[in-house]
Amino acid sequence: MTESITDLIEKRFAEPVPAGTSRQADGATALILRHRSRRHFKPEPVADGLLRMLFACALSAPQKSDLQQVSIIHLRTAGSGEIARLIPSMPWIAEAPVFLLFCGDGRRIRRICDLRGKPFAHDPLDSFMNAAVDAALAMQNFITAAEAEGLGCCPISAVREIADDIVRIAALPDRVFPLAGLCVGYPSDDPAISVRLPMALTVHVDRYDDSGLEAAIDDYDRRRGERNPLNPLKQRAKDRFGTTDSYGWSEDKTRQVSEPERLGFGDLIGRSFGIRF
Ligand SMILES: Cc1cc2nc3c(=O)[nH]c(=O)nc-3n(C[C@H](O)[C@H](O)[C@H](O)COP(=O)(O)O)c2cc1C
């Protein structure tokens, strides 16, 4: 493939970005720019040794204060089948030869405190967030390393929709919570690169400034629609918002967040970490 870094960045943003390099795309930079979530997999298994290497990569991620508040659960037996049945809208869970749970783990350090006779005195919400961030960084490292090995992944935050079932299936104790599931396997499709919001909205210099939002979103919807068209027959919440000819990213996402989602998850975290929301 003879693509330059500039070409890949143009694919990611559907507009040219002055990136100060015309070199050929290779190495980690190219791999990261080419990232796509994968939702179709070959039946080919993933070797245990390769998985162990990818776990090592995941656990090489930076971790807040070196507390290492992540646990990865490899659901090898019936668990992933049950999760797939509980989330029928995402058939890629059943199709993936490997299904993992990346969990924030606020339990381990508290157990070590008990072992060493120390109190745990950190702020509960900050402590929850640190564990969530550690798990997220580990999952991203896993994804990047897996993609370097020719595998594809799809994170599944929908596991938080069925948090009580996940707690039961994976025997998660208090203070260990699912950040996301992860489908892993050899991809059998070739989806388009998902176009990101323009850096004019997401990268700020010196001060936060979203004064250009309105114009930028219209433009983003148009450019994104050309590269990642949405199926006009699959408009969300038609009963509340009807159908429209201009169904772009912003219409889709605002309809998505206008529906309640994961209202029980706060209770689980609140109970577990002693946080009152
Ligand atoms: C924390 C997290 C949770 C996600 N949950 C789901 C999910 O439940 N189901 C799904 O199909 N994709 C899920 N995704 C994948 C996103 O939809 C995807 O990353 C996004 O559309 C951008 O596409 P890309 O990864 O191909 O660039 C999740 C991604 C992240 C980072």
Residue 15: closest CA among 232, 161, 240, 226: 226
The residue whose CA is least distant from atom 10 of ligand 1 is 156
> Are 77 and 60 within 8 A, CB to CB?
no
Site to probe by mutation for ligand 1, drawn from 12, 39, 147, 156 as the one with most ligand atoms within 8 Å of Cβ, is: 156
Site to probe by mutation for ligand 1, drawn from 133, 154, 177, 197 as the one with most ligand atoms within 8 Å of Cβ, is: 154
pLDDT digits (tens, 9 = 90+) for 16-25: 998 888 899 9
How far is ligand 1, taken at its centre, from the CA of residue 37, in Å?
7
Which domains, and CATH codes, for the chain?
A: 48-191 (3.40.109.10), 194-260 (no CATH)
Which atom of ligand 1 is found nearest the CA of 35? 27
Under the banding of pLDDT at 50, 70 and 90, the label for residue 10 is very high
Taking CA atoms, 183 is separated from 46, 47, 80, 142, 190, in Å, by 12, 15, 10, 11, 16
> Are 272 and 174 within 8 A, CB to CB?
yes
Compute the average pLDDT of residues 53-79: 96
pLDDT digits (tens, 9 = 90+) for 220-275: 999 999 999 999 999 999 999 999 999 999 999 999 999 998 888 888 899 989 88
Site to probe by mutation for ligand 1, drawn from 11, 37, 93 as the one with most ligand atoms within 8 Å of Cβ, is: 37
How far is ligand 1, taken at its centre, from the CA of residue 62, in Å?
22
Under the banding of pLDDT at 50, 70 and 90, the label for residue 76 is very high
Pocket of ligand 1 (CB under 6 A): 35-37, 39, 90, 154-158, 180, 194
Compute the average pLDDT of residues 151-170: 96
Q: Which tokens hold the place of 276? A: 């009152």
62-75 burial by CB neighbour count: b if 16+ within 10 A, else e? ebbeebbbbbbbbb
Under the banding of pLDDT at 50, 70 and 90, the label for residue 1 is low
How far is ligand 1, taken at its centre, from the CA of residue 100, in Å?
15
- Give the mean pLDDT of the chain: 95
Which atom of ligand 1 is found nearest the CA of 158? 8
Question: Rounded distance, CA 19 to CA 195, Å?
Answer: 17
